[in-house]
Structure 1
Amino acid sequence: MELPDGVKVRGRGLGRPWPEGPAPDFGLYLGGAKLRRKHDHKLDWDHEWIRWPDFLLPADRAEARRQIVALHARAAAGEAVEVACYGGVGRTGTVISCLATLSGLSADEAVAWARANHHERSVEMPWQRRWVGWFARQA
């Protein structure tokens, strides 16, 4: 998908079938130890993990912000990047919303944009929505 600033990123679910297109140059993955054990060996490109339990927030919010900002920078530099959690909806949609704030949207606009362009249930939990607001205010 193309973010409002023209930067491209693929959002997906690790538990879903492989999407069309080539493998990414870099991936940012969201989940705990169990998800990492199940999928890390399949990711043969450069990648990082954010410890982020399902339906919750990242364990280290400041480090998560740093990694999301770095993901945006990689994509802006022309790397093919992706972000994924297990289902590709809540956590992935939250990161896509954060990326949209880096594209210049307000937190509320970014959540609406992610719901319109990624998945209608992006940012599933109220605290994830508040975290997008926190993320946007850190700039």
Structure 2
Amino acid sequence: MDARDTVNETWGRDGDPVAGILRLPSGRLVRGRGLRHPLPPGPTPAYGVYLLGKQPPATDWESRWLRWPDFRLPRDRAEARAVLTDVWQRCAAERVEIACGAGRGRTGTALACLAVLDGVPADRAVAYVREHYDRHAVETPWQRRYVREFTAHTG
């Protein structure tokens, strides 16, 4: 990996804002977005995880589909844990994005789980994502409960 891809420059240089970027407490950066919206300007991801009930469209970058119906939870929670752990590890040095249809419920839930992996207490992770990503992130009570219980599922 060359110097342009270090964590501090993963999504932008010199503090340039990039839409949808969440900075985790460790400094890791991950982009959340809604697939119903056009691809934001700027660099494209090196890796994307798409949280949808049906297979996502093809991308020009490496990607993974995690079956996760709208307003629900992941179909396979063990797979979700493994995928989100991989995302957390990759976003230390790669441009990684997580996306669902609108970029709020499923995406916000996944971002909150990444915050838990990054050391945010599970009972504060939703608030962290709402403060630093989207104030409407994590839409349903069961998504909030999933985040609160995520550490119990990571053992």
- Quick check: TM above 0.5? yes
1:100 paired to 2:111? no
From 102, 105, 120, give the equivalent of 2:135.
120
From 73, 78, 83, give the equivalent of 1:67.
83
Please list the CA deviations of residues 17-49 of structure 1 after superposition, one character each: whole Å capped at 9, or x if unmatched: 21121110000110012xx2xx422x1110101
For these two proteins, the number of residue pairs brought into alignment is 133
CA RMSD, aligned part only?
1.1
Deviation of residue 134 (structure 1)?
2.0
CA distance in 1, matches of 2:123, 2:138: 11
Deviation of residue 52 (structure 1)?
0.4
Please list the CA deviations of residues 60-112 of structure 1 after superposition, one character each: whole Å capped at 9, or x if unmatched: 01101100000111112x01100000100000000010000111111121100
Q: Going by fraction, where is helix more abundant, 1 or 2?
A: 1
CA distance in 1, matches of 2:136, 2:77: 22
The structure showing larger relative contact order (alpha-carbon pairs under 8 Å, at least 6 residues apart) is 1
Name stretches of at least 5 consecutive residues in structure 2 with no aligned partner: 1-21
1:8 paired to 2:29? yes
CA distance in 1, matches of 2:53, 2:73: 11
CA distance in 1, matches of 2:64, 2:122: 25
Give the TM-score normalised by the residue count of structure 1.
0.91
